[in-house]
Structure 1
Amino acid sequence: MLYLCLKYVHVIAAIFLFGFGMGSYLYLIAASRTANPQVIAHVARMVVRFDTWITTPAGLIQIATGYLLMQLSGLPLTTEWILTSLIIFLCVGSLWLPVLVLQKRLHAMALNAVDTGQDLNDEYRSVYNKWFWLGIVGFTGMFVIVMMMVTKMTPAQMVGMLGIQSWV
């Protein structure tokens, strides 16, 4: 029963991590496309809050419940899909602090534009582009991790199972 409860919490945390993260990402993209500093400032403020208070704790819960599930199931950390997903998770997680910092900068730049009555400048676009591409990399990693959670296979194992030949 403990295993099933932990698995439930693990899946819910994955939904929060992925769902809130993706929602925040898409809302800030949509807000930035308006080029309206007032809209961007409001949305960026909410994105920073959600990512700080919901998405980040969900990631920590993922680590804790994943570790406990691994221990309860008797699987070693060296199990290929577990080790691969942990490495990808840590890589994606290492992008998280820069993403939060960039989101706070986008918020500050939008607030400054509102306060001064100016348009957003090239610096905003530069910071936004960095944030955007870090999001692409991060969410690609998250898609792969969810695939491994479901299939218990690494991407290489999936490719091998599908009979797709390596080009290397």
Structure 2
Amino acid sequence: MNTYLLLKWLHILSANVLFGTGIGIAFFKWITDRSGDVRAIRIVTERTVMADWIFTTPAVILQPVTGLILVYLAGYPLSSGWLSYALLLYLFAGFCWLPVVALQIKMRNLARVADQGNTPLPGQYWRYARIWFWLGVPAFIALLGVYWLMVFKPTF
């Protein structure tokens, strides 16, 4: 089997898992938060944290590993315009994602306490949810940019 094509397949697959899981998780968490149903919010937030560990984290790791090996095998210099921009956008998305994961864990814990006590979610939950949402927007846009750069490979 061709090593380059296998790595390329893993790279594309992990990109799709990263993007698809990210947008799917974000949608279901955001729409469930809008319901105001504390039990549903707790369950979805718990599953959000779990899905990030099972799917998103391995994809986040696999992306740069396979990407850098592909770059080496294809002979692209790391300083080529499209590649350096893709790396910067990927790092930017990662810097948005790391606090998102921490916020999800904090929101999960707050939702558990509220659900167990049969009380409304505290204001802190909603503050975290707003920050979580607004960190997700630029991360999403950055990953769209990475996809565009990987497909079109413009010369700068």
Per the alignment, residue 15 of structure 1 pairs with: 16
Per the alignment, residue 99 of structure 1 pairs with: 100
Per the alignment, residue 85 of structure 1 pairs with: 86
CA distance in 1, matches of 2:68, 2:98: 22
Instruction: Give the deviation of 1:59 after TM superposition.
Output: 1.2
Instruction: Give the deviation of 1:122 after TM superposition.
Output: 2.0
Asked if structure 1 preserves the Cα contact closer than 8 Å seen for 2:97 and 2:136, the reply is no
Provide the TM-score with structure 2 as the length reference. Answer: 0.95
Which is bigger in relative contact order (C-alpha 8 A, separation at least 6)?
Answer: 2
Instruction: Give the deviation of 1:130 after TM superposition.
Output: 0.1
The CA RMSD measured in Å over matched residues stands at 1.2
Per the alignment, residue 31 of structure 1 pairs with: 32
CA distance in 2, matches of 1:79, 1:29: 37
Q: Which runs of 5+ in 1 are unaligned?
A: 158-168
> What is the percentage of aligned positions where both structures have the same residue?
34
AA in 2 matched with 1:32: D
CA distance in 2, matches of 1:153, 1:59: 24
TM-superposition CA deviations, 1:86-131 (whole Å, max 9, x none): 0111111112221011001111111111111111232221110000
Q: Which runs of 5+ in 2 are unaligned?
A: none
CA distance in 2, matches of 1:59, 1:153: 24
Provide the TM-score with structure 1 as the length reference. Answer: 0.89
Asked if structure 1 preserves the Cα contact closer than 8 Å seen for 2:82 and 2:149, the reply is yes
Per the alignment, residue 165 of structure 1 pairs with: none
AA in 2 matched with 1:140: I
The runs of 4+ residues in structure 1 deviating greater than 4 Å are none
CA distance in 2, matches of 1:139, 1:19: 10
- For 1:15-164, what aligned pairs fall within 5 Å after superposition? 15-153=16-154
TM-superposition CA deviations, 1:12-35 (whole Å, max 9, x none): 000000011111111100110111
CA distance in 2, matches of 1:24, 1:73: 34
- Give 3-state SS (helix, strand or coil) of 1:119's partner: coil
CA distance in 1, matches of 2:49, 2:154: 33
CA distance in 2, matches of 1:106, 1:31: 13
